[in-house]
Amino acid sequence: MSNRIETLEFQAEARQLLQLMVHSIYSNKDVFLRELISNASDALDKLRLESLVDKDLAADVSDLHIEIEVDRDARTLTVRDNGIGMSREDVVRLIGTIAKSGTAELLAKLRESKDSAASADLIGQFGVGFYATFMVADRVTLLTRRAGESEGTRWESTGEGTYSVETVDDAPQGTAVTVHLKPEDSDDHLYDYTAEWKIREIVKRYSDFIAWPIRMTVERKGEGDETTREVQTVNSMKALWARPRSEVDEVEYKEFYKHVSHDWADPLETIHMRGEGTFEYEALLFLPSHAPVDLFAPQARRGVQLYVKRVFIMDDCEALMPNYLRFVKGVVDAHDLSLNISREILQQDRQIQAVRRRLVKKILATVKELKANEAEKYRTFWSEFGPALKEGLLDDPDNTDAILDVVSVASTHDPAELTGLRDYVERMKDGQSDIYYMTGESRSMIENSPHMEAFRAKGFEVLILTDPVDEVWVERVGQFDGKPLRSIAKGQVDLDTEEEKKEAESAREQQRQEYAGLLTWMSEKLADSVKEVRLSTRLTTSPACVVGDAHDITPTLEKMYRAMGHEVPQVKRILELNPGHPLVEGLRKAHEQDAAADGLADTAELLYGMALLAEGGELADPSRFTRVLADRLARTL
């Protein structure tokens, strides 16, 4: 066999992360052992699963376990498992690079962060716990062999930018990570990680619930100072989700969350539930305190693991959690499923679908309780996961009402605080039948839009919707509590009372007659851009605005569809004029005097362009607009 040895460079991002680790950005260095044990546990889970799927796999699964070994003289600590192991290619791919989206963003945030705990939380989002070993090590050696393969691999690095990879023929199945420890330094939170009491303390705090035995050889002095050695299991292996909630304390929940999520921050909320009857299961779910960096990535993973009778079956179980709740982490342990069930069968399994429905209802009920009773927690949850949760209004019609009950949006009612839809309904004015909203890119753009003028003048509250998903769900849902959701940028708007309408009717009729000629002429001149020009009842200070027909899609939605590659016909909109504005009144008079007057058509075009710009829209020909505008300004001087 060829004993291939290569020296390779870490990927640039991985090298930067290593430097951050080496220079001790995190004060709690004990977590390096938690991360190694967690990785070992995952490797055992994967081997158990693969042995069920592949009956011909040449692997020993008779005594799956994790072993911790120390050498006090050499100052090394080794965490060894007999799990799935890695091939040479796996080692280079998984350790030499960080194959995750958003790495550049992570590093930028790390450089900005002055707080070491915050830095660690950011690193935790990327599941790169192996790098934590370099907080306590001068050198790290990894020996591994993938189950079913004959050749093993030795990996070694000091964390300085390069690593060596060697093919070996004497590696046992699984993975062993040997940490060559730095000198003890209590001032720098570097403890003696070869001490039995310290290892027991870390395992008890972080890894007591690991489903596999964690074994350690300990020395005991007997009579006559005779030293004996014995192997002890140092974790209880009690599945946290199977224990009554009254027997589990918050510290245990937090550490279990960190184990299943590879997050270094505490969870925001814990959900522990049990299903009994025809289909028994236990579930231990968590709402994280921050969104993962890949929350909106196309291939974002869901965070729920499936077990059957305490045996790990699969990670990222899509059948148990809808996509809009992909941020939920945790474990579901089903009692009555087959151990070799596939993802495809799970999608069709009626019992799993029933569990999924119960989990979703419980999660939404928990969020509703946070909204009602723990405002600060709810605010954190909504700021991190609100846009994702609103996707459920498109995908989960069975839970539309439950999702709407926990939705919070910005509103003209308060410049800082969000509002719930029910709160809006309770504040509606007498005689108001619709819930008014406007979508846009930002709050400032919406608040300064001409569409807002009449609503502001009349004191009507408007919901301010700025998430991309808002463009779609308001159309799909259509109503809340029997009240239609109505865009203030579409259709006709008339906020006057019946009495006000009667008083203004004669004046409006006179305006319709006076402006009839101008409106017809402008509709013809701007026919390529608009479907109609009409007088507005929504403007108070602006000369004009552009609105959509009641059932047309919005320009933003049109743009989104095109960006996704869909063919969307151009939707012409309606230009509304404010008859009380001097510019519009002047245009009417000029048109009456001479409809063919030089520059009159340019003024109509400028008026339309100004209306587009006022709502944040895009001009079809910006250079022509500026040229015509400059020409008209020059004539006034």
Report the CATH number at residue 284: 3.30.230.80
Q: Taking residues 20-42, what's their average pLDDT?
A: 77
Residue-wise pLDDT tens digits, 493-510: 878 778 888 888 888 889
Q: What is the pLDDT of residues 408-435, one digit of tens each?
A: 999 999 999 999 999 999 999 988 999 9
Same domain, 22 and 166: yes
At residue 466, the 3 state secondary structure works out as coil
Describe the chain by its helix, strand, coil percentages, rounded to 5. Answer: 45, 20, 35
Of 373 and 208, more confident: 373
Output the pLDDT for position 207. Answer: 85
Which DSSP category does 574 fall into? E
Residue 273 phi/psi, 5° resolution? -140, 160
Spatial distance between the Cα atoms of 290 and 382, rounded to a whole number of angstroms: 10
What pLDDT, on a 0 to 100 scale, did the predictor assign at position 102? 45
Kindly state whether residue 453 falls inside one of the protein's structural domains.
yes
pLDDT of residue 519: 95
Domain membership flag for residue 446:
yes
pLDDT at 21 over 50: yes
Query: Do 20 and 134 have their domain in common?
Result: yes
In a domain, 3, yes or no: no
149 and 207, same domain (yes or no): yes
Predicted pLDDT of residue 78: 97
Highest mean pLDDT among 93-107, 391-405, 613-627: 391-405
- Please give the backbone phi and psi of residue 600, each rounded to the nearest 5 degrees, phi first: -65, -40
Q: Which helix (H) or strand (E) holds 352?
A: helix 350-373
- Residues of the domain holding 79: 14-233
Q: Extract the annotated binding site.
A: 35, 39, 81, 86, 100-102, 125-130, 175, 343
Beta bridge partners of 228: 220
The answer to whether residue 473 scores a pLDDT higher than 90 is yes
Q: Is the separation of the CB atoms in 149 and 165 below 8 Å?
A: no
Residue ranges of the annotated binding site for ATP are 35, 39, 81, 86, 100-102, 125-130, 175, 343
pLDDT band at 405 (very low <50, low <70, confident <90, very high): very high
Beta carbons of 381 and 346 less than 8 angstroms apart = no
CATH number at residue 136: 3.30.565.10
Q: What is the pLDDT of residues 560-614, one digit of tens each?
A: 777 777 787 888 999 999 999 999 999 999 999 998 888 899 999 999 999 999 8
What residues does 113 pair with on adjacent strands? none
Q: Is residue 7 part of a domain?
A: no
Residues 413 and 541 in one domain: no
Residues 357, 275 share a domain: yes
Closest residue by Cα to residue 261 from 289, 242, 299, 297 = 289
Q: Report the CATH number that the domain containing residue 533 is assigned in CATH.
A: 1.20.120.790
Which of the four pLDDT bands, split at 50, 70 and 90, describes residue 128?
low
What is the percent of the chain with per-residue pLDDT over 90, rounded to a whole number? 54
In a domain, 2, yes or no: no
Query: What confidence score (pLDDT) does residue 502 get?
Result: 85
Q: Are residues 198 and 73 in the same domain?
A: yes
Domain count, the chain: 4
Closest-CA residue to 76 (of 132, 136, 28, 22): 136
Quick one: 263 and 305 in the same domain?
A: yes
Residues 256, 231: Cα–Cα separation, whole Å: 25
* Residue pLDDT, tens place only, 290-308: 998 888 887 777 779 888 8
Among 113-122, 138-147, 529-538, the range scoring the smallest mean pLDDT is 113-122
> Distance between CA 364 and CA 331 in Å, rounded?
17
pTM value is: 0.73
In Å, how far are 113, 127, 411, 446 from 421, measured between CA atoms?
Answer: 36, 37, 10, 19
In a domain, 82, yes or no: yes
Between 471 and 96, the higher pLDDT residue:
471
Tally the residues of the chain.
Answer: 637
Of 74-78, 183-187, 251-255, 296-300, give the lowest mean pLDDT range.
296-300
User: Does residue 116 share a domain with residue 38?
Assistant: yes
What pLDDT is attached to residue 266?
93
The answer to whether residues 462 and 480 belong to one domain is yes
Q: Where among 394, 420, 442 does a domain terminate?
A: 394
pLDDT for the residue numbered 135 = 87
Domain shared by 481 and 559, yes or no: no
Answer for the pair 322, 360: CB distance below 8 angstroms, yes or no.
Answer: yes
Structure tokens, 586: 């002047």
Residue at 399 is within a domain:
no
Shared-domain flag, residues 41 and 190: yes
229 and 244 together in one domain: no
